[in-house]
Amino acid sequence: MADKRSFPAKLLRKLLRRLNPFRALGRARLSLVNRRRLRHKDLDVIMLTLAGTIPATPEPRGFVQRRLFGPAPLSLWQLETIFDQIAHDPRPKTIVLTLRGLAMPLADLQTLRGMMLRLKARGKRIVCYAQGYDNTAYYLASIADEILLQPTADFAVTGLQSEAFFLKDLLAQAGVSVDVIAISPYKSAFEQVAASAMSDESRAQVNWLLDSRYDQLVRGMAEGRKKSPDDIRAMIDSAPCHDTQALESGFVDGLCYEDELPTRLGVKRLVRWDEARRKLIRQPRKQAGPKRVAVLTVAGLMVPGESGGAPGDIPLPIPVPLLGEDRAGDATVVRQVRALLKDESIGAVVLMIDSGGGAVTAAAHMGAALDTLATHVPLVAYMNGVAASGGYWIATSAAHIIAQPGTITGSIGVITAKPNTQTLFDKLHVTTAQFKRGANADLYSTNVPFSEAQRALVRDGVLYAYDLFVKRTAQKRGLSEAAVDAVAGGRVWTGEQALSHGLIDGLGDLRDALAKARALAKLPDDAPVVFWTDDDAPAPSVIERAGQTARAWAAGLLPAAWLGHLLTNARAVASGQAQALLPFWLRDGL
């Protein structure tokens, strides 16, 4: 949206900013603070622990959430700021990263590796230390200057495994079957619940995805350790091994306990980050420009209505990721887009996607709003861990799409399913009486399967939605419909594969997407970034807030809250409505 302020007014505003006495006072105060901080001479080695899941962007948590689930975890965005602060201070020479139980998508690991490489390029030495190395930890550690392992620990870099559970026979024992209509055998989102074994098409997809991801891991480890890919493959095939074998084989550079790290690194002590952050010199705050870059995040199962978070970690005995995910509601996302359109300070937008899709209606609604946004400001899409099916649908709104090599994307296709619970009711000795007016009034009933006529109608709807998806992709990506269809039909790709198929424009991280958005908008490199939230959402009443608090407490205490979330998601994806969904079994870790 054009800035309506006159040129003289903007010039006067710029002059006043430069002459602002508070800025001079702030600079003097910062200089005094840094002078005091520089008196500390014990910052040679800083120690930082990376543990568990590290989200890509800061996670907002309210008062009740903090009380129930603790403070929000450190995000990659915040970690980049920490690395930047360390890089700007001349005193730290080494940073020790202690790796503990990391669980992150390959795309996020690639982002973190990029951050570590930038820190090394600015003259800092990186040491990684762990009580054992698995694929995730070693992929990160491989680019460190030194890899240290605790004695007695295992070196278990054993390669990739993906497995799927098929529940058709289990559900049949309970009296439940699932009726599925898919655009092609490659669109296998419901195969886990509708089949007893994996189809040939699904097996082919798993193999080409594992090939790509495994090759990325091997290449990354080989580059970091300055070995050949064949050496790394031999290392993986020889694992697991114990500590001394890993040392003798050159997989790690040393063995020591954590208390021995100072002696190993030649310093009196290691300064942990909580202490170091109070001693490192501070950088002056960047003066906010007239235009900002907004990051709009769409994460989780795409559904009609409002967004909603999962009630904490849901303990699923069999991994069915979509059911335990947060929900990205189209009403919420569209409201956020409208707010962006109203804000004249927004010069560009990065759409950050971490979604395996959902309802076609929700994806189409979001996509239409994002199409409008893209006509007003430059829109760049960044695909994080997964941006597939409905997640890919909305990415096509952007002028430029960036993904990590390990991002899961594609899955251009449509599927639908509904459960049939009549046999379950029979086993429970529950009788039902059916009444209907209209040949297809029972189309979405879970008590009867699709009739042949209904199946034909639903298939027509699936074909229609798929045709729209292919046409949209072809138009937005500048491809022929035949070229899109050749890599669509539900086929899933890594970001590296998607680039070769023309489905994305480049490989990189959120930082690269922001740089591209600034460039398209002709904004300066330091144009500020704002993570967009749903500030326009109607404020809840006192009674609603009390109910939200009670539900939040219940979510932390009652398994019923988990069950409610799972059932809501299950109803959303198995409703008989057209779905643009990623296959469940693809959301595997390393």
For residue range 287-344, list pLDDT tens digits in order.
Answer: 667 899 999 999 999 999 999 877 666 555 555 556 667 889 999 999 999 999 999 9
> How do beta strands 379-388 and 492-494 pair?
unpaired
User: Predicted confidence band at 389 (pLDDT cuts at 50, 70, 90)?
Assistant: very high
48/273 Cα distance (integer angstroms): 6
Average pLDDT over residues 5-18: 58
pLDDT of residue 171 exceeding 80, the answer is: yes
Give the residue among 462, 489, 446, 471 at the shortest CA–CA distance from 583: 489
11/114 Cα distance (integer angstroms): 39
Residue 315 CB contacts under 8 Å (≥ 6 apart), including other chains: 562
The CATH architecture of the domain made up of 292-586 is Alpha-Beta Complex (3.90)
Q: pLDDT value at position 3?
A: 47
Average pLDDT over residues 112-125: 97
Average pLDDT over residues 437-457: 89
Q: pLDDT value at position 434?
A: 85
Q: Taking the domains of the chain in order of start, what are their residue ranges?
A: 40-158+239-276, 292-586
Q: pLDDT value at position 488?
A: 96
Most confident of 4-8, 236-240, 562-566: 236-240
Helix (H) or strand (E) holding 129, with range, is strand 125-130
Q: pLDDT value at position 42?
A: 86
Neighbours of 562 (CB within 10 A): 18
- The single-letter code of the amino acid at 343 is D
Q: pLDDT value at position 1?
A: 42
Give the residue among 406, 493, 495 at the shortest CA–CA distance from 218: 406
565/446 Cα distance (integer angstroms): 19
User: Predicted confidence band at 113 (pLDDT cuts at 50, 70, 90)?
Assistant: very high
For residue range 28-85, list pLDDT tens digits in order.
Answer: 777 777 777 778 888 999 999 999 989 999 887 666 566 666 677 899 999 999 999 9
User: Predicted confidence band at 95 (pLDDT cuts at 50, 70, 90)?
Assistant: very high
User: Predicted confidence band at 4 (pLDDT cuts at 50, 70, 90)?
Assistant: very low
- Per-residue DSSP letters for 269-317? -PEEHHHHTTTSPPPPPPPP-S-EEEEEEEESEEESS--B--SS----S
518/9 Cα distance (integer angstroms): 24
Neighbours of 502 (CB within 10 A): 14
Q: pLDDT value at position 6?
A: 54
Which residues, in sequence order, are bridge partners of residue 519? none
Q: Which of 178-192, 322-336, 536-550 bottoms out in mean pLDDT, i.e. has the lowest?
A: 536-550
What the block records as the tokens of 223 is: 């580059």
133 secondary structure, DSSP code: B
Cβ atoms 474, 481 nearer than 8 A: yes
DSSP SS3 for 210: helix
**145 φ/ψ sector (left φ>0, alpha ψ -120 to 50, else beta):** alpha
Helix (H) or strand (E) holding 21, with range, is helix 21-37
Percent of all residues in the chain with a pLDDT value above 90, rounded to a whole number = 63
Cβ atoms 314, 562 nearer than 8 A: yes
What the block records as the tokens of 197 is: 């074994």
DSSP SS3 for 515: helix
Global pTM value:
0.88
Average pLDDT over residues 477-484: 97
**Peptide bond connecting 240 to the previous residue in cis, omega within 30 degrees of 0:** yes
User: Predicted confidence band at 174 (pLDDT cuts at 50, 70, 90)?
Assistant: confident
541/66 Cα distance (integer angstroms): 21
| CATH code for residues 40-158+239-276 | 3.90.226.10
Contacts from 440-445 at CB under 8 Å and sequence distance 24+? 443/576, 444/418, 444/575, 444/576, 444/577
Q: pLDDT value at position 509?
A: 97
Cα maximum dimension of the chain? 84
Q: pLDDT value at position 355?
A: 94
For residue range 507-517, list pLDDT tens digits in order.
Answer: 999 999 999 99
> In the Cβ-directed half-sphere of 479, how many Cα atoms lie within 13 Å?
22
Most confident of 320-324, 391-395, 459-463: 391-395
Average pLDDT for the chain: 87
